[in-house]
Structure 1
Amino acid sequence: MIFELWKQIKRKEISPIYLLYGTESFLINETKQLLADTALDKEDMEFNLSNFDLADTPIEVALEDAETLPFMGEKKLLFLHNPHFLTAEKTKEKVEHNLSRLEAYLKEPAPYSIVVFVAPYEKLDERKKITKELKKKAAIFEAKKLTEPDLKKWIHARADYNGVTFDPDALELLLALAGTNLFMLTSEIDKMALYVGQGHVIDSRTVEDLVARSLEQNIFTLVDKIVNRRMEDALRIYYDLLKLNEEPIKILAVITNQIRLIYQVKELANRGYGQKQIASHLKVHPFRVKLAAGQAQKFRDEELINIIKQLADADYKMKTGAMNKELLIELILLKLNPN
């Protein structure tokens, strides 16, 4: 859906009304930028691009602007943020909206205006008349977490935008190291594209050399080294984190979260859940579940339970000052090595 909408916009098949909703803010912002770049000339943006926050501006004010002819150029673009009247959430509204005015506009939108409703909500209230009417008339984009196949499509699209391509192994390594945050992935892809140059291929070596690891991804790699019995590499990562002034208590917390995720994935898989179901149940990205499932195969259930107990004990000792923090984690890491 996301790629089809973007293709339509790039072909300048522009709808007079859009509804962008969901909690993946990067995708919403990227769609907004694409609309602005495609629908308006640069010199027209100052006069014909408007933003309204419907949390404190009545809808009729925004629609009056939409019905006013462009000052210069052929089109106007209006972003209407926070249309809370589309949700079931109860809030203390600062303003009252004349929704009958909106219903009338939806029946006959101004031909020279593009009105974009930006609703950063996980769900809309499908029972409401105004929601039904808007969904009938608008081009709709739901900005939700990308599935693994769509995430890979998006990475290829971003690489293509920069004039480069990805080696398949390099793409997998990028996800393992940088995670699934689209803001971070964009930064890393753009950086690597600049490094290799247009027309070239980003390979695993480039990813290994250039991609910045988050603490969470460093911990994932650390745990992965442990389960593959490469303790020397695991300890090296730990010492590097200390050199980067990462707090031992924070390192311990992230290790605990990763081990807990591995246990939860293993337990749910044992109950017959598929990886998509597990991701939905735990509210984590499917790619993280896939990686954790691979690690879970290296542990027995009782080993994971024992490790979680040891981590809880280490957390207590660390917070009570019963033992040197750096040494405490080092000992824990040595104990994590599966038999």
Structure 2
Amino acid sequence: MDLKTAVKQIKKGQAQPFYVLYGSEKYRMDEFVQLMLEQLVPEDNRELAIMKMDTSEMPVELVVEEAETPPFLVERKVILVKDQSIFGTGKDGKIEHRTDRLLQYMAEPMDTTIIIFMVQADKLDERKKTTKAAKSADAVLAFNPFSAEELVQWVIKQVEQRQCTIEEQAVDVLIKSAGTKLQALSSEIEKLCLFVGQSQRIDANAVESLVPKNTEQNVFQLVEDIIGKRTDRALSTLHELLKQKEEPIKIVALIVRQLRIMLQVKELTGQSFSQQQAASQLGLHPYAVKMAAEQARSHPASALAAWLTEAAELDYEMKSGRVEKTLGLELFIMRLSSGVPRHKIR
């Protein structure tokens, strides 16, 4: 089922008898469940109308029994079921589930009950009869990461919902600083809107002042400064990370990871992969691929490979005690940002 279609149906009060939700974006899934409860369950009846169950703690036939029991003092009840094994690939220990009972129910569901299975997995197990039955009933909803463009639009919409506006450059700075996790972005947007006030505009300076960069985002900036030959800024970022008690070995590992992503993205896009396809292939968020592609655009694959080799060698030297960790990092940054790598670029 298409998510937009499902939302339209729910807002019209036309909910299906059961849903199977899955995907890596738990924040979006929770938003959808909250919308369903707000639209379908009167606020004064929610204690009687909403039940929570977990298939890791009870067999699925108990969920079916509850679904078949008429609601008490309410027109319709909603059962929220946390699941790992009925539709996903997880296991529930010693609990045995009679999935045949669920399949029977899915074939003839009660019109006074809505079951929402919230699968704790990024993918469903396509081999299972339960998954096939849910797909046949058009009851499956995927909550996957936004594309880079969708994430930007989501940020803008979240800001507008709080009666503020945001500059285009500020959106980019916000995502680069806070990352792509929707929960973290939502919290930072709330903070920025409170800071500027209603009907005011959030600019890049406000974001840079109020939104702290996490370690990965700082390393992303560090790599950008290194390959951009901005030695002073790169060393400043490094020393800031060290002040925050970040281990030099961890910093190098993140530099290696970022250089590897840049090289992989460059190779895939060179093979006519779209950024969305590259993200799926590499298991990354599409916005991370977009940033890596922009970062790698002006550098040949041979240069990225040489830098990656040098970073990997530094990692080995630090772990084997051949070089003092902080000094090794500083020399690495100075060599690469000055354009004189240890290994010749072919």
TM-score > 0.5, shorter chain as reference: yes
Residue aligning to 2:204: 204
Which deviates more from structure 2 when the two are superposed, residues 152-161 or residues 17-26? 152-161
Aligned in 2, Cα 1:164/1:257: closer, same or farther, shift over 3 Å? same
Matched letter for residue 21 of structure 1:
Y
Query: Residue 23 of structure 1 aligns to a residue in which SS?
Result: coil
* Superimposed CA distance per residue, residues 24-50 of structure 1 (whole angstroms, 9 cap, x where no aligned partner): 222222222232333334443333321
- CA pair 305-133 structure 1, distance change in 2 beyond 3 A: closer
Q: Does residue 120 of structure 1 match 2:120?
A: yes
1:184 correspondence with 2:184: yes
Q: 1:68 to 1:13 in 2, by over 3 A?
A: same
Q: Which runs of 5+ in 2 are unaligned?
A: 340-346
User: What letter is aligned with 2:298?
Assistant: K
SS in 2 for 1:84: coil
How many angstroms apart in 2 are the aligned matches of 1:317 and 1:140? 50
Aligned ranges 1:27-66 → 2 under 5 Å: 27-66=28-67
Alignment of 1:222-233 (within 5 A): 222-233=222-233
Deviation at 1:140, TM superposition (A): 3.1
Structure-2 separation of matches of 1:14 and 1:163: 30
- Aligned to 2:118, what secondary structure does the other structure show? strand
1:86 aligned to 2:90? no
Q: How far did 1:322 drift?
A: 2.9
Mark the CA change 1:173 to 1:13 in structure 2 (over 3 Å): closer, same or farther: farther
CA distance in 2, matches of 1:14, 1:90: 28
Where does residue 106 of structure 1 map in the other structure?
Answer: 106
Report how far residue 170 of structure 1 moved. 1.5
Aligned CA distance change for structure 1 residues 272 and 62 (closer, same or farther; 3 Å) = closer
Contact 2:80-2:117 at 8 Å conserved across structures: yes
The answer on whether the counterparts of 2:225 and 2:337 sit within 8 Å (CA) in structure 1 is no
Alpha carbons of structure 1 residues 260 and 132: separation in structure 2 relative to 1, 3 Å: closer
Q: CA deviation at 1:127?
A: 5.2
Alignment of 1:127-166 (within 5 A): 128-137=128-137, 139-166=139-166
Query: How far apart, in 2, do the equivalents of 1:17 and 1:69 lie?
Result: 16
Whole-angstrom distance in 1 between the partners of 2:39 and 2:32: 11
Q: Partner of 1:60: helix, strand, or coil?
A: helix
Shift of 1:10: 4.5
Q: Counterparts of 1:295 and 1:138 in 2: how far apart (Å)?
A: 41
Residues in 1 aligned to 2:12 and 2:163: alpha-carbon distance in whole angstroms: 19
TM-fit CA distance, 1:23: 2.8
Aligned pair in 2 of structure 1 residues 128, 253: CA closer, same or farther (>3 Å)?
Answer: closer
Whether the 8 Å CA contact 2:229–2:336 is kept in 1: the answer is: no
Checking the alignment, whether the CA contact within 8 Å between 2:84 and 2:90 is kept in structure 1 is no
* Number of residue pairs matched by the alignment: 338
Q: Which runs of 5+ in 1 are unaligned?
A: none
Mapped contact 1:83–1:117 kept (Cα < 8 A): no
- Does the 8 Å contact 1:56/1:94 carry over to 2? no
CA RMSD of aligned residues (A): 2.6
**Identity level (%):** 36
Residue 187 of structure 1, CA deviation: 1.6
Q: In structure 2, what is the Cα distance between the partners aligned to 1:296 and 1:338? A: 18
Normalized against structure 2, the TM-score is what? 0.87
Is contact 2:18-2:114 (8 Å) kept? yes
Q: Is the 8 Å Cα contact of residues 15 and 138 (structure 1) preserved in structure 2? A: no
Shift of the alpha carbon at 1:116? Answer: 0.5
Is structure 2 residue 288 aligned with structure 1 residue 299? no
Q: Which position in structure 1 is the counterpart of 2:308? A: 308
Structure 1 residue 132: deviation in Å? 3.3
**Within 5 A, what are the aligned runs for 1:265-284?**
265-284=265-284
Is the CA contact 1:52–1:62 (under 8 Å) kept in the aligned structure 2? yes
Deviates more, 1:28-37 or 1:284-293: 28-37
SS of the residue 2:245 aligns to: coil
CA separation of 1:275 and 1:128: change in aligned 2, threshold 3 A:
same
Question: 1:10, 1:38 within 8 Å by CA — same for their partners in 2?
Answer: yes
